[in-house]
Amino acid sequence: MIPVQGFDGATVAVLGLGRSGLAAARALRAGGADVVIWDDTPSARERAEAEGFEARNLTRDGAFDDVACLVTSPGIPHLYPAPNPVIASALQAGVAVDNDIGLFFRSFSVNFDEYDRPPRVVAVTGSNGKSTTSALIDHILTQAGRQSQLAGNIGRGVLDIDPPAEGGVVVLELSSYQTELARSLTPDVAVFTNLSPDHLDRHAGMGGYFAAKRRLFAEGGPDRCVIGVDEVEGQFLAGQLSEGRGDDRVIRIATTKLTGPGWYVFARKGFLAEWRKGRQVGSVDLRDIAGLPGAHNHQNACAAWAACRSLGLGPREIEAGLRSYGGLPHRSQRIAEANGVIFVNDSKATNVDSALKALLAFDRVRWVCGGLMKEGGLDALTPGLERVAKAYVIGREAEGFALGLSQVDAEICGLMEVAVQRAVSDAQPGEVVLLAPAAASFDQYDNFERRGEDFIACVQKALGVSD
């Protein structure tokens, strides 16, 4: 646990008692704060009360009279489309609002003077690939013998990690919800993977979404920035952060060749290359690494390579880590192969951009897709539809989703089991049955993990294999 600093003897309210909220309450108490908690769900309040926390109805008048800070969970809206009523009351009362990420950064570096090699924080954000990139950095560091902990939006709650050892590294995956609200952001290395439309209602459009990501760099002031420049937002961000083309505090990454006097890591046609000051200093062939299929994963490999080089690892150490990486569940996860057909679970492909990248990773796809559609429609999928032999559409909006796929043969299946059965029956040797929904899961599932687990179970049932 990382005890929260700066609130000894003060009253701090915690709103939302999921994984991050309850961990924040514990860490605040460990730092000497007087913690009061609230959650709309009675069972969540009861769990916290069983640990000795005082429940206070933060919706009542005067609830914030003695409160120094409100700590809120990332899923609770604080600005758009409208602030949660509790957060609105805190703002009206002049109470500071923070989250567990802000508490972590204000507390993490206490007593670092006692270290010869202080611990460091790598923070990863972006629209797609941040989970894989974060896990990949953590894996490479661990394989190289460095102490590393994975936390934030993946792994453990950020305040629930162990105090770092000499020279240890904390790798954080940070969502836009987390970076937008955190009052303190001070990573040593910050990574921006890419940007595509997502969560636009929470940020009032693309400008607000990009601004939330940009805070990690503009206000975080990292020593080194790894910036994906395949999109104009990344190019703009890299330009803002660097003093000139040769400024190696910014490492630009891309899926196309980069040239110039700066520090670049790019992957082109499956080959990763690192260039610095006009010459190549490292390379690796990514094409035969099973845990990193497709150009989108090659971009993730570039980001992880650059971050690890920033931490002092050598090219061969990083290559060994890349080759031993097994991948994350629900992200380009190869789950089975039968009769020459490969089955891949990419349930995390919850938006159009990530689904497109999943399609482009394979030559011929039986595509299981659909769910709760997001803003923007499906037109951006067009470059990948030539890879689709047939689409099998699930979800409550299956008929409307299928109408947006006029360029391919699309069968309305509704349920996952039906879609998988149809795909297995139709698939030919050399094809891939791919779950890449291009939609949120909440119409049928609690989260994308449950959707992916259902896909795996349905595949196993269709193939006649046990778990």
Domain boundary among 267, 297, 323: 323
Assess whether the previous peptide bond of 81 is cis (omega < 30° from 0): yes
Tokens of 167: 């020279």
Instruction: Tell me if 155 is assigned to a ligand binding site.
Output: no
pLDDT of residue 110: 67
User: Which H or E run includes 354?
Assistant: helix 352-360
Domain boundary among 296, 323, 350: 323
The answer on 37 and 19 residing in a single domain is: yes
Question: 436 near 354, Cβ under 8 Å?
Answer: yes
Phi first, then psi: give them for residue 325, nearest 5 degrees.
Answer: -75, 130
User: Which H or E run includes 266?
Assistant: strand 263-268
Instruction: Tell me if 72 is assigned to a ligand binding site.
Output: no
Quote the CA–CA distance of 151 and 160 in Å, as a whole number: 9
> Do you know the residue count of the chain?
467
Quote the CA–CA distance of 350 and 371 in Å, as a whole number: 9
pLDDT of residue 383: 95
Q: Between helices 42-50 and 19-30, what is the axis angle to 10°? A: 30
Three-class DSSP labels, 112-168: HHHCCCCCEEEEEECCCCHHHHHHHHHHHHHHCCCCEEEEECCCECHHHCCCCCCCC
The answer on 433 and 381 residing in a single domain is: yes
Instruction: Tell me if 128 is assigned to a ligand binding site.
Output: yes
Domain range for residue 37?
A: 11-98
Does residue 4 form part of some domain? Answer: no
Instruction: Tell me if 461 is assigned to a ligand binding site.
Output: no
pLDDT of residue 377: 87
The answer on 415 and 348 residing in a single domain is: yes
Instruction: Tell me if 84 is assigned to a ligand binding site.
Output: no
Cα angle: 256, vertex 154, 283; to 5 degrees: 30
pLDDT block averages, 10 residues each, the chain of length 467: 96 94 96 97 96 96 97 94 96 97 91 82 95 96 96 90 92 96 96 90 94 95 96 96 92 95 95 96 93 91 98 97 91 92 94 92 96 88 96 96 94 97 97 97 94 97 83
pLDDT of residue 374: 83
Instruction: Tell me if 300 is assigned to a ligand binding site.
Output: no
In angstroms, the first-to-last Cα distance of the chain is: 35
The answer on 407 and 387 residing in a single domain is: yes
* pTM score of the predicted model: 0.85
The answer on 209 and 116 residing in a single domain is: yes
The answer on 128 and 94 residing in a single domain is: no
pLDDT of residue 466: 64
Give the residue among 413, 415, 368 at the shortest CA–CA distance from 389. 368
Instruction: Tell me if 126 is assigned to a ligand binding site.
Output: yes
The answer on 269 and 143 residing in a single domain is: yes
Domain boundary among 301, 323, 345: 323
CATH code assigned at 349: 3.90.190.20
Give the residue among 359, 340, 342 at the shortest CA–CA distance from 351. 359
